[in-house]
Every structure is written in structure tokens, then in C-alpha cells.
Structure 1
Amino acid sequence: MAGQGAAPRKDDIVALTAQRTAWGQLPLILLAAAGCAAIIWFAVGEAALAAGFAATLIGAGALAYIFTRNFSPPSADADAVPDWTIARAAADASGVAIAITDRAGRLVCASDLYGEWFPGYPAPPHLPVDEGDADRLSSAGRAGWRDGTGRVEGVGKGALRIDADICRTGRSDDYLLWRFTPVKHASILDDFNRLLTGDAGWQLSEAGVMAAMIGGEGRVRAANGAFLLRAAGRIDANVAGRDFASYLRVDGKGQVFFAREERGVVPIRLLQVPLKPGSTEGPRLILLIDEKPGGAATGDGTSALSYIETLLSLLPFGLAMADRDGRVLFLNDAFARAAGVKPGEKPAYPGDIVVREDQAVVADSVRRYAVGPQMSGDIAIRMRAQPDEPVALSMAGVRGLGEAAVLLSLKDNSEESKLKRQVAQATKMQAIGQLAGGVAHDFNNILTAIIGHCDLMLMRHTPGDSDYDDIQQIKSNSNRAAGLTRQLLAFSRQQTLRPQVLQLPDIVADVSNLLNRLLGENVKLEVSHGRSLGPVRADPGQLEQVIVNLAVNARDAMPNGGTVNIQTYAVPAARVREMRSDILPIGDYTALRVSDTGHGIPPDVISKIFEPFYTTKEVGKGTGLGLSTVYGIVKQSGGFIFAESEAGRGASFVIYLPVHAAVTPERTADKPRIADKRGETWGTGTILLVEDEDMVRAVAERALSRQGYTVLTAADGEQGLEVLARGGETIDLLISDVVMPNMDGPTMVSHARKTHPDLPVLFMSGYAEEQLRKSIDIANVAFLPKPFSVSQLAEAARDAMGAGAAVS
């Protein structure tokens, strides 16, 4: 029951109602006991027996009432209202912005941080975010209701970037839980914070170097243990947010001491390293060391400069020091790597690491920072090791370190630059590939007309005629041009491949005899194979072309002779993971390496070698399509290719093909082949030809008519459907181009199959069959790549009609 003066609780009301119900049933129990006793007395005639039975019945009812009252569990209230205060407390404890909405889109619960980010507590997804992000939130919310989860990244709200995770929850999945987390951006301040408070900070303390990072306002943000012990007296002291200058004092001679230490102790020397190039008021790294009053540092006559050199060698940032005359005094390993300096060497001047055009600028800047006011800044230079990649060289004037006058900083961005070049190269190759594919498609239409008309003219001439040889020459040159278009399609990854499951050593063995003849007598071929090579899935003919092209390029790189080495080896996923490649996904690969002992590939050329029409050979000795074709075949086969070279030590091309996982195919019964669905011989029937190119349509119509077919033509998909409607059941085969204006071939065939479900279809296109199969979701269609000859068109039409008859 509720307390005195308080409103009754729901549990008390339920208990009181149950008690009243039980007492209301008591008369019924007494009446039933009396009736049963009367029946027994009337039937037996024993009053004592009837009274005992009535007493027993009344006692059993009382016991049942007591047991029900004291031991039965309380009934659950199905209409209980959720207690959102508990959910709100849990949301606030999580430290992230959380909101809960119901099916009506109303906000039922939210954390305090959610209210700080979105004042007024608007209900998701209707939040005050950047333009376009509201639609992304709405889509994620619909995905949450539909799929159970949703996610959207990088939602902008001014300078804040937020990731949102949505999931459906609740007893009946009738609520959406929205979880918003800020996107943390890496910064150099965070890096130095971890540096000072981590193991590196302890190593500096062991070396006697005190270090602190301060903001532009002069307050401490992080410090190592040595600084905390000297400045605050305790290694666990909390100095974050304190004024850095309050821990120091300066005497009349300008010497710096810690404020808490007695007078007469050893003074300290400070070195400031700006953390933001070009800013003298921004955050800085302060390094402090002890020194004697005469200027020499303490400890066995070791100079203060040696302490600084030891410190700089430990830092993961490229740092160097130069004197007032511009001579390099010291550089750490990170600076040497970024500058392309070989191990064990040290440049005499900073200008020795840059190209000749930038040497005067570097020398003037070092002189200005050395003798002028103490300041910092950066200049754009080009390193001698990488002349095509401008980098920023930061400089800062330092004082009080004897000969040292200028601190140089250079970021080691070799991996970053390499990744940028690879991404730019892939983007450029993709754009050129799309252009090449479009050009090859249009060119294939022209070649189809030329080859077809040549075949038709050859049918009217016999060998020995005056025009026969000329026509044959035209056709031969057209076929050569068709080979060039196939190379363009291979580069753009749009050629028709016939992949098979094979072993790389078998392909190398098949092509070895050809390579021995191509390489010549002064070039030696060496072949070696690794163990446990996994099978790959590729077109064997195209793979042979890849090996031949790489071997011929290796031969041309060794005009005076040399060795071409072809290796195959397994690359397991563990090794790929150790390679830490940003391009190669983790998985099992079988690799093919083609190496030579030639003059190598210059650094300014290696990034362009896969581009089409780019060649280093003399005019007339190369088309520039060899390596671009190799690149396209490898990429279309699902593999990766990398070029490795060092000047004067040859070059290597490494191909990684993914290991094929064997799948046991289901055995299906062979379908019978029938000549024609009406039982007639080959060369009879009606064909509907749909082609938007007039010259291709004309030559195909003449070629099929000469084979005995009745040919109906149309210029696009809409006209094709009209002709099909008029022709009815008399049309035995539909031949159509794929890409056409107004209505393309696949759309036309989809409409035609609704009224003619068994109509055989033959698609013809200048694009690759694999590319078209991905966009054409139509069963039982054949494909004929352009350019084709008259005989190839006739055979494809015969096979398509036979296959259609077998299916029907």
C-alpha cells in the first residue's frame, strides 16, 4: 500500500483489487460446502461425515487463497510505459551523442551531448547539417527500418564532422537508435602529445633531455617525465593548461632557471621547434638541457649541440642543422630518407640535395635565417632524387647552440607521393581506357563494313583477276587495323576473353620456344618455377601475349645482350600482408616476374610506361601499345602489375594473379543441336537485322541474303519492334546491335521476348562480351564481336538458329 498522504501506487491498487475479489468469493465457497454436505447427509445419512467433508472443503479453499496471495508471481502489465530516464542516464554515460525515435519519427530520448550538438533537440533525420547530408541521413534511417542497420559517414555540421550509426531496437523493434560519433582528424599536435607521454618521452628523460609542448598562448599541453620532475617536483604532476613561463625565471645575466629551484643551481638552455611551418606564434616543442655558466653543457665536456643531435636522431621527423655559412652539421635518418641521401653519406650543403635551379634559393634562405632575426618559414624545392615532386623545406633560426644557426625540417613523404602517383596513374589510365574503348567501338563498325565489302567483292573474283590481289590487300590491312583495335580494347579492359583455369608454368613452357627465337642469340633466357603454385583463371592466349610483350621489351632494353629471367612463385596472404601495399588486396596470389639486366627505366619514365602510345623507342620502331595492352589484359583478368627498376641494374615487371578457388561444376546433359526449328536446311529462313550504322547494316544484309536468308532490316530498336509485329511468326532469328540511339538492343529484345519467348537472338557489338553480359540480363542470347567477316556472320547466324531450335 502507498504511504500516508501519498497517492496509491499501481501495485497497491492491484493488490487491493485482488484482496477484495478473494473476499467477494468467500460466500460462494461457504454455499458450495453446505450444498455438498447436504447431499452427502441425504445419501448416507451420517451427519458427522457430511460435516467433516464441508469442513475439509472450506479449509482447502482457505489454503488455496493464502498460497495464491503470498506465493503467486505478480502479473505483468502489458501496457507498462518504458522508463526513459534509465535510457537517458545510460546515453549520457556513454560519452557520445545518442537519440531514440519511434515509428512516427518522434524523439523519445536523447543524451545531453546530442542537445549540445543539435540545440532544441530536433528529431533525426531532420537535423541542421550541411546541404546534401540531410538526404543521406534520411536514406540511412530508411535503411535502419528496412534492414535493421544503417550508417552514414562524414556528416558535416560546420567544422564538425560526424559519423552516424542507426539500428532498429526495442521489444518489438519499434524504435530507432541513432548514435553520432565525431570524426577525429590526425594532427601533428596529437603526434607530439603521444611522443612526449609515451616511450619516446621516457627515452628523452633517460638521456637528460626535458621536453614540453606549448600552444600559441604559451600554456603547456604535454610534457615528459624529466620536465615534470624539475618543473613541478613530482613526476605525476598535472601541468596541462598551466602557463609555461611560470615554471621559469631569468636572472640579470639572461640565464634561465627553473623557478622552484634555489639560486646558484645549473642554468638551462632552451631550444624551440615550431610545429606549424611559417608560424612563429603557433604551438612549439620546447627542449631544455642543463649547461654550465660558461656555455658548455654538463657531463664530461660534451657540448650542448651533441645533446640536441642525440635528441634529433630519436625523432621520427626529418630534421637537420646547418651553421651560419650554410654547411650541414647534422641530419637524422628520417631527413636522409626524405632527401634521398644514401646511408653513410652526408651532403656538405643543403643545396646539394636539391636540383641545380633551386640551389641558389636554398643558399640565400639559409643565410637569411642564420644572420637575421629569429624566425621560421618554408620554401618549395625539388629534390635531386625526385625532381618531379615539389616538397616543402622548413627552416627556423636558432640561437645559443654554438655553430648551429638554422634548423631544417623535411617531411619523408616518399610513400605518400608514391601512393598519389599510383592513384593519379590509375585515374588517368581509366579515363584513357574509356576513350580508347569508345574509339575502338566506332573503329570496329568501320572495319566491319570494309571487311564485309571485301568479302563480297572476293566472291565475284577469282585468284588471278586484276582486282583480286588489290581486294585481298585491302582486307589484309583491315585485319591489321582490327588487331590494333583489339589492343585498344585490351588496354581499356573491354576485349572479349576466354578465361580458363590454368597453371602459369604451363603457359611459360608453351611460349618458351617462341621466346628463344624472338630474343636472339646474344640474349639468354632463364626460367625458374616455385613450388605449391595455385591455379589462376585467365585467357591462355592473352597471357602468352603478355609474356611475349614483356620479353620483347626486355630484349630491346639490352642492345648489347644480357639475360631475361622469367620466374613464377607463390605469394601467400601472409606475405602480402607483410608487403603493406596500398594497391594489392590481401589474398593468395601466383606471381610472374619478368626481369632483365639492361639499363633500367628512368624514374621520370616508369610512371608513364603503361600509357598508350607512349614509347621510348625510336620513331617507327614501336606503336606504344605493348605495355598498355599488357596492363589491360592483366587488369581485366583480375590481376595487378607493377614495374620495378633501378638505374643501371635492369628492370622487372611483376604480375600478381589471384589464386582461383576450384568449384565443382554441376553436370548437365548436352542439348541436341538442330539445324533449324522448322527442320529446314541451313541457309533458309527469315532474319530481322537491326543496326543503326547504315554501312554495317548494308553489308550484313547483303551477306545474309547471299546465304539464302530472307532479311528484314531496321535502323533502331523501335523500328525493329514494328517489323517484328508485322512479321509475326515468320521471323526465325533476330540479329541486333547492342548500343543504338532511341532504343538499344537489350531493351528491344526484352520487349520482343514478351510476345516471342522462343525467338533466337544474336547480338553484335564492338565492345567486349564480358562487359555487355554484365549489363544484359537476358537468357539464351548469342554474341558476335565486331569486326567480323561474311563467313563469320553466316556461321554465327546458323549457330544461333540451331541453338534456338534446340531450346524450343
Structure 2
Amino acid sequence: MVLGAGFASALLLLWALGQPLFAGVFLAVFVAVAALLLLWVRRSPVPEVPESLGPDWSLTHAAIEDGARPVAITDRAGQLVCANRLYGEWFEGWPAPPDLPLRQDGTARLAAAGRAAWRDGTAAAGDCAGAHGCFDVRVVRVGRRDDHLLWRFAPARSVDIVAEAQRLVEGAGGSRLAAAGVMAALVDGSGRLIAANRALQVRATGMADADMAGRPFTDLLVTGTDDLIRLARERDGGEPVRLVQVPLDEGDTGAPTVFLLLDEDGRVASTQPGAHDTATANVHALLAILPLGLALAERDGRILFMNEAFEQAAAIPPGQSVLYPGDLVVKEDKAAVSDAVRRFAAGHRISGDLAVRLRWRAEEPVALTIAGARGLGDAVVLLSLKDNSEESRLKRQVMQATKMQAVGQLAGGVAHDFNNILTAIIGHCDLMMMRHAPGDSDYDDIQQIRQNSNRAASLTRQLLAFSRQQTLRPQLLQLPDVVSEVSNLLRRLLGEMVSLTVKHGRNLGPVRADPGQLEQVIVNLAVNARDAMPAGGTVAIQTYAMSAADVRRLDIDIMPLVDYTALKVSDTGTGIPPEVIGKIFEPFFTTKEVGKGTGLGLSTVYGIVKQSEGFIFADSVEGEGTSFVIYLPVHRAGLPVEPLPAPPPREKPTELWGTGTVLIVEDEDTVRAVAERALTRQGYTVLTAANGEEALELLATIAAEGRPSVDLLVSDVVMPTMDGPTMVRHAREKYPDLPILFMSGYAEEQLRRSIDLDRVAFIAKPFSVQQLAGAVRDTLVGKGSSPGA
């Protein structure tokens, strides 16, 4: 390029001057100068410029190490790249913000601050509570490329509401109230004065600088002959006063309380111009800083003032104006609120509570406290409202969890007792069928009884599923595979009027569950969806991934912050009414017609999901449809997977006869009788006992008399006085090699976790005569560890 520029310049000179010699000399000089410059540049040292200047973390760590507050730095991926020693002391294990062990919703506030800092450059989060108390956090986006966040932690200044109230009463706020003729006192839980403003000091003692701390507040007041309250120093000659009580903590009956003493005639002590407006402003300022929802209304009921806490408790939308207390509540409660306000404005002396439903939060009633007020200018009624929505939500969750736990225990107990009854029915049917051949007049009736008994047995399995006491055989699987396996069956079940759509997300983590039980869950939800669409519609099944961050945004307290794989089954049916949706997982609850369902479908789904360590939630809008979402935790690689071993396949024995002595221990007479007759028919010598103590006495008698020992002990697990495992432990002290066969209506998996015994086999109730004989034979010859139906 340089040589080309030189030749071009020489040609221009030749064309302009017409002298070849001058143009040639110019070109020679230009080339020589260019060559010298090139040689100088090549020989000059060129400083090496690093490709990237990364941060020097050792220097950064040294700079923040001696700080008096915890400091941490995270990168774009949210990883902790640097922190000082104090940060490690505050948060054991060095977790990265915002995933810190905080109470309440501190983690959510930190996450929101982090997102705001990435967006705006700086953000803050306050009132975060951890193991080292409350603290505030300041987040700043830093780095050469703004690719890091700097987190600074500082202990929060805890607000002592009692100290603030004392400062208010004794300080400028109390003086302004005194100028308005309002006496103020701060009283502790025992009724003794903590502080009083100047107006109360003068009226109660006659001295402006009297020390009233520690005096009983009630000693300052007397009730006159006219039943009106006056100051004790003024007695019957003084003006009556009204007490307005403002508790600093409504949930603590022993908390300090602010008392405002107002003259009944509403007079104002100061006669200066504008004193009325100043007094009103002072009262409004006092009410504005209190943490309670307070509002003032005038004689005709119009609201004059409401503080921010009252607006939040009433859930008033931004920009919405409220003129009267009746505007706060639903239409049905307007008349009651208006009547109460008029009654208190007319001079009603005792405050009262009304249970009302708010207009913008009508889900459940709240308490609206109304009291008369005097000495506050135009205000004659004081209203108080507490925001207890979070408390009510937690109460509902606890009540629902407690109810579901109690119902689950009841369902498990019912299933156990029901299994005993079914065992006797099925057993007697089997014994009768041995005496009747096909074609006999009674054979078909007996067969029908047995089939209905097996149908009842399936209901008990559903009860056990709800109470999370069934046997699951979990394995690692992908939810799309389970949905694919059951899709063809679903299309046949849904029929021609209902279409099925399936959509799978990407990057789904594996879950650990029983595939057969999950298929039952999907089928159950799909069939319920079909029944909710009698005129046809669409059932949609969707799988998708839910990261821990997504779970945090859901703000569901009961779900741990881990990764989940979600399964959503939704329909376009009639929907579920709000008053019903909280009961749908209860056993035997159904909205179907009589004879159309047992009400055990969703309770079974609930039990399977919970036993798989997952969560299920329902969302419905009447007339639009219903959605069920199941969250199953993602199984992490490296965690042990220990599914129950599948029972080894064994050929059905053609010969169930055997020999030996069998001791049957069962507290249910009918079950014991069936088992005795069944085993006796198969050639065994059978001994029976009604409980564990009787069985131990029988074993001791056999040993004392020198009779042949028992070859097998068949025992129920749950029995009164002494259960089966306890009895077996005592029996094995003398017979350590005695084989054991347990009978139970509960799940084998649950029993094996609770029974610390080796060399035991199980058979599940209800069982048939053939199944019992096969289990006894297998146990005696040492086959299998878990025979059963």
C-alpha cells in the first residue's frame, strides 16, 4: 500500500510538471524513507499485550479479608468465586448467594435483589434472618465487563417498638399531642407506666416534670358516681375522659400498650390559631407510624384517615379510593358495618369486633375492630384491621396436613381390619369350592362371592396407597417413557369424543418411582378428566423440567428447593368448585353420582405420589377445566438406588402337600380357623394360639413335655398386648433356627423396615388357601423370602 501511494504520487507529479527526472527523484526518496521506517519498526521491541486481563482473586481476597462485615463475590453462573473469612463464619459450608440458610422468605428476597442488581447495577435486600440474626444485604454489579456481583452483608438495625413508642410519648410527638389536649401514656404488660407525655403529667400530678415511671396506671384513674372515668386527682370535679387503647403487639397479651386519654367533650387545650388542624395532623402522624392497621371516621361515617398498614390489611388496590367503611367489605356485610359505625359514633363506649369479608379479599372473614373516639377533631370512630392472611394461610395448610395425616392413619387401620375379614371370606370360599365341582348348583354362587371379595381386596390396596403403606418397587425412569407406555391404553379409555395431546419438554431429569404405580396415576387422572367432559374435549399430558430456581418462584413452603421433573394432566371440562377442591384427595370423597365411583381414585394418586417423595397440586376454574401437576424430585447421579428386589419367579407348585408341625398365631378367630383348616387339609399338624403370650406358653409346654418341636411359626404382625415381632424375638431365644412366616394386611416394605429380624417371610392379606399353602411350603423348604399374593 505504501509503495503504491509512492508510485501514484510520482505519476501525478509527472503529469503536472512534465519532468521525468524530478518525478524519478521523488519516487527514489520516498522509497528510501519508507524502507528506513519499516526497518526501525521491526527492530523496536513490541510490548506483549495479554489476551485477557482476568481478576487477581488473591489481591481481591486480601482487600476484603480484614473487613468487619461479610463480603462475597459471585460470577454470572451464580458460583461463589471469592469471600472473606467472616462470610464463612456466618454461613457454614460457604454457600453462594442467594442460596443461604435463611428463615422465612429471606432466600427469595436475596434472589430478587440479585436479579435487580444484574439489571440495574445495584440493589438491596433487608430484614433477612439467619443463624447470626437479622441483616441487610447490598448487591452491586462489578468487574471490568460487569460480569460479577459483590454482596455486602451488614447487621440490621432491629427496631425496638417499645423504645420507639417511649421516645414518641416523651419526645416531640408527645408534646404535639399535649398541645392538642391529648394525654398519652405507655403502659407495660403488668399495668405500670413506662412513660407519659406532659399533658398527662400535669393533669394527673399537677407537675410538668413529675417522674411517673413505675406507677400503676390504674391509680391515676377513678370511676365516678355517674360511671364515667376521670383522673384521680380531679375526681368528680374534673372532665370525664375516654381511653383509646393501642396495643403494640396484638398477638401478645403481655405486650406494652399505648393509651390515649381524650376528654369526652372533645375540647382542645390549646386556643392558638390553627391548633385544631395541628392537633389533627399530629394524631394522623402518630397513627401513620404505628404497625397496626388504623383508620379514623367522622360522625356520618366518612373515612378521614387510614394508615398504610390499614390499606395493606384491607388489600385496597393502588389508586382505589374508599369513602366509607362499608366500601371495604362485600355487599352482604355493608349494612352491619354501617350500623356499627353509626352506633359507635353516637357514643357507644365498649369497642367491638365484627367478622366481615373484605371486598378485595373475600376468601375468608377477618376481624374489624370498631371503637368510639373523642378529642380527635372531626374523627369520632376508630377502626382497626389486622392483616392475618399469611397466618390464615399457614393455619389452613397445617389443618389440611393434619387432616390428611389423620385420614391416612384411619385408612391404613381400616384396610388392615378389612383385610382380615376378606381373608376369612376368601378362605371359606376356597374350602367350599373344594367340596363342589364346576357344574354344581352352588359352585357359581361361591365363585361369585370370591370374585366380589377380590374386588373388595383391590379397594383395600387403594386405601393402603393413600395411607402410603403399599409396597412400591421404585426404579430409575424417564416420565416420557411412562407416558408413552400408557398412551395407547388412554386413547381407548378416553373414547372418540375426547382427544389426547402429549407434549414432552427437554432436558428432563430421571426420577425414582414405581412405573406400574405411575401408570395407575396417569390413567386415574385421565379417566377423571374424561368424566368431567361429558360433551367431549381435550386431555393434555405434558412433562417439563423444574429447576430449583423455578421452585423458589413458585413460593410453595412445603417443597424443598431441588430440581424436579413435572407431569401435568389438564382437561377442558366443567372444573371443580372452590369449596370442593380442598377435599378431592380425601378417601371416599367424590362428586360423581351414586354408583359411579368409590371416591378412592384421587386418594390413591395422592398416596402414590407422596410415597414416591413427590408433590401433587390441583388448579381448577369452573367452566374452563382442571389441571393436576405432579412434581417428582430428580434423582442425582451418585445417590444410591436400592429398589426392592423383584420376587423371583417360581413355578406354581403342582403339589402343596407337606408334613411337619405348624403353629398359627392369629388374634382374629375367623382367620385363624381358615388357616388351620387349610393347612390341616394339606397334611400339616397344626397348633393354634390366639395371641403372643399364649403362643409362648404353648412352646414352653411342648419343650417341657419333650414333644416334637414346631417346624414353622405362622404369625400375624399386629396383635393386642404382644405383637408378632416381639413374640418371635422371645421364641428365638430358645429356638434360634425357627423359620417364621408373617401374615399382615400392611405393606411388606413398611414391615421390613420396622421389623429387625432375619430369616422371615411374608404373605399379604387377603390370601387364598392355595397361596397360604404355597407360602408355608416355600418357607419350610427355604425358597424365597417374600412369598405372598
- TM-score with structure 2 length normalisation? 0.59
CA distance in 1, matches of 2:479, 2:738: 42
- Write the distance in 2 (CA, Å) between the matches of 1:454 and 1:422: 46
1:478 CA drift (Å) = 0.8
Letter in 2 for 1:735: V
Give 1:111-510 correspondences, 5 Å limit: 190=160, 215-216=186-187, 274-275=246-247, 282-283=257-258, 293=273, 318-319=293-294, 322-327=297-302, 335=310, 338-339=313-314, 345=320, 349-354=324-329, 358-372=333-347, 377-383=352-358, 389-396=364-371, 406-510=381-485
Which residue pairs with 2:720 in the alignment?
741
**In structure 2, do the counterparts of structure 1 residues 756 and 197 end up closer, same or farther at CA, with 3 Å as the change threshold?**
farther
Change (3 A) 1:715 1:309: same
1:570–1:590: 8 Å Cα contact kept in structure 2?
yes
Specify which of 759, 771, 783 is matched with residue 792 of structure 1.
771
Q: Which amino acid aligns with 1:495?
A: Q
Deviates more, 1:463-472 or 1:698-707: 698-707
Cα separation, 2, equivalents of 1:349 and 1:729 = 92
Q: Cα–Cα, structure 1 residues 701 and 353, in superposed 2: closer, same or farther, change >3 Å?
A: farther
* 2:681 paired with 1:706: yes
Q: Which runs of 5+ in 2 are unaligned?
A: 1-157, 169-182, 198-210, 216-243, 262-270
**What aligned pairs does 1:78-117 form with structure 2 within 5 A after superposition?**
none
User: What is the letter of the counterpart of residue 215 of structure 1?
Assistant: L
Residue type at the aligned position of 1:698: A
Closer, same or farther: CA 699–309 of 1 in aligned 2, 3 Å? same
Instruction: Report Cα offsets for 1:687-720 as digits up to 9, x if no partner.
Output: 3322222211222223233344443333222343
Shift of 1:782: 1.3
Cα displacement string for residues 710-745 of structure 1 (whole angstroms, at most 9, x for unaligned residues):
433332223433554528765433221112234321
Letter in 2 for 1:756: Y
- Shift of the 643–746 alpha-carbon distance from structure 1 to 2, 3 Å rule, reads same
- CA drift of 1:441 comes to 1.4
Which residue identity does 1:683 align to in structure 2?
A: W
Q: Find the counterpart in structure 2 of residue 769 from structure 1.
A: 748
- 432-441 or 352-361: bigger deviation: 352-361
- What's the CA shift for 1:341? 5.7
Tell me if the contact between 2:647 and 2:784 (Cα under 8 Å) persists in the aligned partners. no
Corresponding residue to 2:522 among 544, 547, 550: 547
Cα RMSD of the aligned pairs, angstroms, is 5.0
Match of 1:601 among 576, 591, 605: 576
Q: Which residue of 652, 657, 664 corresponds with 1:683? A: 657
- The alpha-carbon distance between structure 1 residues 681 and 384, as it changes in their structure 2 partners (threshold 3 A), is same
For residue 582 of structure 1, report the CA deviation from its aligned partner. 3.3
Could you give the per-residue CA deviations for residues 594-637 of structure 1, whole angstroms, max 9, x where no partner exists? 33344443333233222222223333333222222222222333
Cα distance change on mapping 1:333 and 1:666 into 2, 3 Å: closer
Structure-2 residue corresponding to 1:637: 612
**How many angstroms apart in 2 are the aligned matches of 1:666 and 1:771?**
15
Following superposition, the deviation at residue 197 of structure 1 comes to: 10
Q: CA deviation at 1:411?
A: 1.9
- State the Cα distance separating 1:802 from its structure 2 match: 3.6
Q: Quote the residue 1:536 is aligned against.
A: 511
Distance change (3 Å), C-alpha of 1:465 and 1:595: same
In 1, distance between residues paired with 2:416 and 2:644?
A: 36
With over 3 angstroms needed to count, the CA separation of the structure-2 counterparts of 1:805 and 1:399, relative to structure 1, is closer
Larger deviation, residues 640-649 vs 401-410: 401-410
Name the counterpart of 2:560. Answer: 585
- Alignment-mate amino acid for residue 415 of structure 2: A
CA contact (8 A) 1:571 1:590 kept: yes
The aligned residue for residue 759 of structure 2 is 780
Contact 1:448 1:787 in 2 (8 A): yes
The 1:340/1:630 distance shift into structure 2, 3 A limit, reads: farther
Aligned partner of 2:733 in structure 1 is 754
Q: Does 1:525 align with 2:504?
A: no
Which residue of 1 is the match for residue 71 of structure 2? Answer: none
Match of 1:704, SS?
A: helix
Would the alpha carbon gap of residues 285 and 580 (structure 1) be closer, same or farther in structure 2, given more than 3 Å must change? farther
Contact 2:295 2:306 in 1 (8 A): yes
2:752 partner amino acid: R
Asked if the contact 2:656/2:773 (under 8 Å) is kept, the reply is no
SS at match of 1:739: coil
Residue in structure 1 matched with residue 587 of structure 2 by the alignment: 612
Secondary structure at the aligned position of 2:257 is classed as coil
Superposition deviation, residue 667 in structure 1:
14
Letter in 2 for 1:622: G
Report the residue type matching 2:520 in the other structure: Q
Paired with 2:645 and 2:626, the residues of 1 have a C-alpha distance of 51
Q: Which amino acid aligns with 2:347?
A: G
CA distance in 2, matches of 1:618, 1:549: 17
Give the alignment partner of residue 626 of structure 1, picking from 601, 625, 642. Answer: 601
Q: What is the CA-CA distance between 1:644 and the residue it aligns to?
A: 3.3
Work out the CA distance in 1 between the residues paired with 2:784 and 2:589: 50
Would you say how many aligned residue pairs link Structure 1 and Structure 2? Answer: 560
CA distance, structure 2, for counterparts of residue 222 and residue 508 of structure 1:
72
TM-aligned CA deviation for residue 473 of structure 1: 0.9
Q: CA deviation at 1:444?
A: 0.9
CA distance in 1, matches of 2:647, 2:537: 55
The 8 Å contact of residues 324 and 403 in structure 1, kept in 2 or not, is answered as yes
Please give the alpha-carbon distance, in whole angstroms, between the structure 2 residues aligned to 1:604 and 1:347.
30
Question: How high is the sequence identity, in percent, across the aligned residues?
Answer: 65
- Output one character per residue of 1:472-491: Cα deviation in whole Å (capped at 9) or x when no partner: 11111111111222222222
Amino acid at match of 2:396: R
Q: 1:453 to 1:797 in 2, by over 3 A?
A: same
SS in 2 for 1:326: coil
Q: Which of the residues 532, 540, 543 maps onto 1:565? A: 540
Residue range with higher mean Cα deviation, 389-398 or 543-552: 389-398
Q: Which residue in 2 is equivalent to 1:24?
A: none
Secondary structure of the equivalent of 2:782? helix
Residue of structure 2 aligned with 1:515, choices 470, 484, 490: 490
Do the aligned partners of residues 736 and 373 (structure 1) sit closer, same or farther apart at CA in structure 2, a change above 3 Å counting? closer
Task: Check whether the contact 1:421–1:607 (CA below 8 A) recurs between aligned residues.
Answer: no
Judging changes above 3 Å, is the alpha-carbon distance between structure 1 residues 471 and 297 closer, same or farther for their aligned structure 2 residues?
A: same
TM-score (norm. length: structure 1)? 0.58
Cα distance in structure 2, aligned partners of 1:626 and 1:674: 32
- Helix, strand or coil: the match of 2:336? helix
Partner of 1:462: helix, strand, or coil? coil
CA distance in 1, matches of 2:294, 2:521: 45
Query: How far did residue 537 of structure 1 move?
Result: 2.8
Note closer, same or farther for the CA distance 1:646–1:690 as it changes in structure 2 (3 Å cut).
same
